[in-house]
Every structure is written in C-alpha cells, then in structure tokens.
Amino acid sequence: MSTLDATHDPALQSWVASANAADTDFPIQNLPFGRFRRPGQAWRIGVAIGDQVLDLELAAEHTKWPSDVQALLALLATGELNGFMARGAAARRTLRRALSQALAAGGPEDALAPCLVPQAEVELGVPCRIGDYTDFYVGIHHATAVGKLFRPDNPLLPNYKWVPIGYHGRASSIVASGTPIRRPRGQTQAAGQDAPEVGPTQRLDLELELGFFIGAGNALGTSIPLAEAEDHLFGVCLFNDWSARDIQAWEYQPLGPFLAKNFASTVSPWIVTMEALAPFRRPFTRPAGDPQPLPYLDDAGQRERGALDVQLEVRLQTAAMREAGMPPVAISNSNAAQAAYWTAAQLVAHHTVNGCNLQPGDLLGSGTLSGPERAQAGSLLELTAGGKEPFTLPNGERRAFLQDGDTLVLAGHCERPGARRIGFGLCAGTVVPA
C-alpha cells in the first residue's frame, strides 16, 4: 500500500503558479494522469498541474530524465495510458517522484514551461482505453434506501453483507466529462397498466460513484490476493452512472441492470493515482454486530487504512439557471469512506477470486455513494423519495428527476490537517432530448 514520501510534503510548492492556489484541485501533491488533445491534433497523455496540463511527450524531449523515467515517458508518448498502467505501482512511483521534482520550485522551469498547455485550451477525453467495466454496489445506505423503494418488506438482501454485489456493465458507452447525455428510450410498465410501453424515460437519474482503474492485471485462472490488490489499482476518478429508473424497475428482475444503465456513463478526465490518495486513507470498519468479511476479503492492511476519505458533491444547473447566469448549485454531499461497505481492494480480490482476469484500464464502479441522511443522497431516487418529494432550486424550479437541458456535475476532493488538499476535477454532463 502506498506510503507517504517527499511528494506528499504539504509545504512543497511548484514553479507553476496556479498549482499553489489554495483551492486548486491539482497542486503538485496530486499529479493525476489524463488524455488530452489540442484542436485538430492527436490525443496525448498529460498530467494536470494547477490550471495547466504538462504534455508528457513534449516533456520527454525538453529535458534530461534518468533512463528509467525516460523509458516510462516513451511508453506514454504513444498517446495511450494503458501501457504505463500495465507497468504497475513501482513504475508509477518512479514517474511520480521524477515529475514532482521537475515541477517543484527550483526545478527545470525554463525547459518545461514550453511543455505546458492551459486546460481551458484542450479537449479532455476518457483517460484510457477501458476494455471492461464492472459496476459494484458498495454504498450500503444507497442499497438500503433503494431496496426500500423496490421491496419495502425486504430492503437489504441477505447476501449484501457477505459478498460485494456487482454486474458487468458496458465499456463502449462510457463517455468523457462534458459529453451530452441523450435521454434514453426504453420499455416501461406504468402502474395499473396491463402492458408496457416504449418511449423516452420519465425518471432519468444520476448515480454518484467513484471509478477505480486497474493498473497491472492478472492472468486468466489466477486470483489477486487481498494483500496484493492495492498494487493492482492504478487510481480513482469520479463516475456518474446515469440511470433510467422506470426502465430499470421493469427490466431488472431476474438478471439485474441492462438498458436502464448502459446508454451512457460519464468519467471525470483525470485519474488521481493511489499514491496521491495515500494521505487520505482511513480505517475500514464494520458496524458492531455486522458479519466480518470472509478471510479472503479481510486483512490488517485493509482494516488499518482500506477506506478512501473523499468528499463528494452533486451539483445541478437547469437550462433556466444557465440562461440567467446562475452557476450549478449543490444538491447533495457525501463521503466515500462513510458510504462504502467494501473497499476498492476487496472489490479487486473478490472480482478475481474465481480466476477472472482483470486488465490494465478496466474500470470498477463503486456503486452509488450515499450517506445515511437524505441530504447525502447520491441519486435523485433517494433525494426525492422515488420522485414523490421534489426539491426546489434557488430560482423556484422544482425537480424530481432530470429534465432536458439539466447539467449535472459531480465534484470530489480530499483534505485533512497536515496534508495538501487535492481534488478530482469535475464530471459533468447535460441532458439532451430523446
């Protein structure tokens, strides 16, 4: 598991002035990876620093790096992140140390300043090739609240506290932040009707999730033990698993989510590495009286610091707010460590216990990360009690589910005394008509 080193020193400053702003998501202690392109040019791999992107292909050419670092930069100069992800945690730490030194005050500013490009001037894509995507259901408050809506007499199924629940999603419809979200059509069965109808969803929702990217994979037929699972995690992004609740309610039994989920899912553009998150790990605990995880999902490392302390926020801006110049407003807040019943490493160990092979760039969705209170809901389904209790926005508009023209934004950051605050950037999408 990643430990603290000089790259986490909260006093460390960068020669990139915007990286030293107190409220930046991307101080020198963060250094997340993403995929960007200048207008009309090919995709490249970069690292976010303040309001800039360090172009790693240019950086490889503009200054002298140690040979092991140069080899890693050459891998990234392909414009794909996956080859580097496959190299695992040791390679990631080597590059992080080198980039931290190069971007620190006193580093080779003259050589690297020409390798910066403002984030505002580039397009940010899906950060890597996502071969497979699995969505889990680790938010126990979400699972309980949603269970109550779908099955009032039996909200939390008996397997929930024993086995991390998940399903295989669809990677092809994972889109970059900013991509418009087309309202999906599908079958729904209205209450009291004898037959279903097909049409645009009337209950379009978000799901506030974290996305865990796999770094080094495992061979088919082998398992990743829990003690090694952290080394197979590359990093974390924000993830909105857009959901059509009316389609979901009609189709989900007996095999689970299908067309209610796979029309689009949005990822934030920057992958915050497990190293950057090292100061923000928390003990993983179970409430008294709950079953302890089975031995393959339990070890001292996870108990000590398996949880991720990430503050999450959902913001909404309607078309009318946008026209009036009003920024998105927060509609809920939660914390990943409080919301999650399973850790990312447990998901990796469980996913591979049967010999299933994970590959570099695979994405594991956490599931909706709601807190126990209504104001901590990670979905509108919970926030509005299944649509029955709409909320009112500052301009007087009311919402139960998302309307065409609504922009939904997820934000996340980590902070604690003694560490530099880091953030995830934004995960945004605007709903367009069916």
Find the binder of Ca ion among 25, 205, 207, 246 (CB under 5 A): 207
Active site residue 142: yes
Is the Cβ of residue 135 or residue 205 nearer to Ca ion in the bound state?
A: 135
Report which of 25, 48, 20, 33 is spatially closest to residue 105, judged by C-alpha positions. Answer: 20
**Letter string b/e over residues 174-187, b meaning 16 or more CB atoms within 10 A of that residue's CB:** bbbbbbebebbebe
- Provide CB contacts within 8 A for 380, sequence distance 6+: 205, 206, 387, 399, 400, 401, 402
Q: How many CB atoms lie within 10 A of CB 23?
A: 8
Distances (CA, A) of 336 to 121, 238, 343: 32, 11, 10
In contact, 330 and 411? CB cutoff 8 Å: no
Which CB atom, from 318 or from 366, has the smaller least distance to Ca ion?
366
H or E element at residue 407: strand 407-414
Whichever of 239 and 284 has its CB closer to Ca ion, that residue is 239
Q: Least distance (Å) from Ca ion to the CB of residue 208?
A: 9
Distance of alpha carbon 276 from alpha carbon 99, whole angstroms = 13
Task: Say if residue 347 is exposed, middle or buried (CB neighbours under 10 Å; 0-12, 13-18, 19+).
Answer: buried
25 near Ca ion (CB under 5 A): no
SS3 content of the chain, % helix, strand, coil (to 5): 25, 25, 45
Stretch that binds Ca ion, among 131-139, 195-203, 296-304, 316-324 (CB under 5 A): 131-139
Residue listed under structure tokens 């309980």: 144
Smallest distance from Ca ion to CB 183, Å: 18
φ, ψ of residue 418 to 5 degrees: the values are 90, 0
Residue 55 tokens, joined: 């172009």
In sequence order, the 6+-apart residues with CB closer than 8 A to the CB of 114 are: 58, 62
Choose the binding region for Ca ion from 82-90, 159-167, 203-211, 407-415 (rule: CB under 5 A).
Answer: 203-211
CB of 386 vs Ca ion, minimal distance in Å: 17
Q: Is 382 in the site for Ca ion (CB under 5 A)?
A: no
Site size with Ca ion, rule: CB under 5 A: 3
**Peptide bond between residue 254 and the one before it cis (omega within 30 degrees of 0):** yes
CB of 258 to Ca ion, least distance (A): 13
Report the largest interatomic distance among the alpha carbons of the chain, rounded to a whole angstrom: 72
Which listed range, 89-97, 206-214, 222-230, 320-328, lies at the site for Ca ion (CB under 5 A)? Answer: 206-214
Residues 43-62 binding Ca ion (CB under 5 A) are none
Q: How far is the CB of 330 from Ca ion (least distance, A)?
A: 21
From residue 233 to residue 272, the character string flagging contacts with Ca ion as x (rule: CB under 5 A) and all else as - is: --------x-------------------------------
Residue 331 CB coordination number (10 Å): 18
Identity of the residue, 8 or 351, whose beta carbon is nearer to Ca ion in the bound complex: 351
Q: Closer CB to Ca ion, residue 172 or residue 193? A: 172
Minimum CB separation of residue 209 from Ca ion in Å reads 6
**Cβ-proximal residue to Ca ion, closest one:** 241
Q: Is 205 in the site for Ca ion (CB under 5 A)?
A: no
State which of residues 25, 57, 135, 230 lies at the interface with Ca ion (CB under 5 A): 135
Q: How far is the CB of 151 from Ca ion (least distance, A)?
A: 18
Q: Indicate the residue among 44 and 261 with the shorter CB distance to Ca ion.
A: 261
Single out the catalytic residue among 8, 62, 141, 142. 142
CB-nearer residue toward Ca ion: 81 or 383: 383
Contact residues for Ca ion, defined by CB under 5 A? 135, 207, 241
The catalytic residues are 142
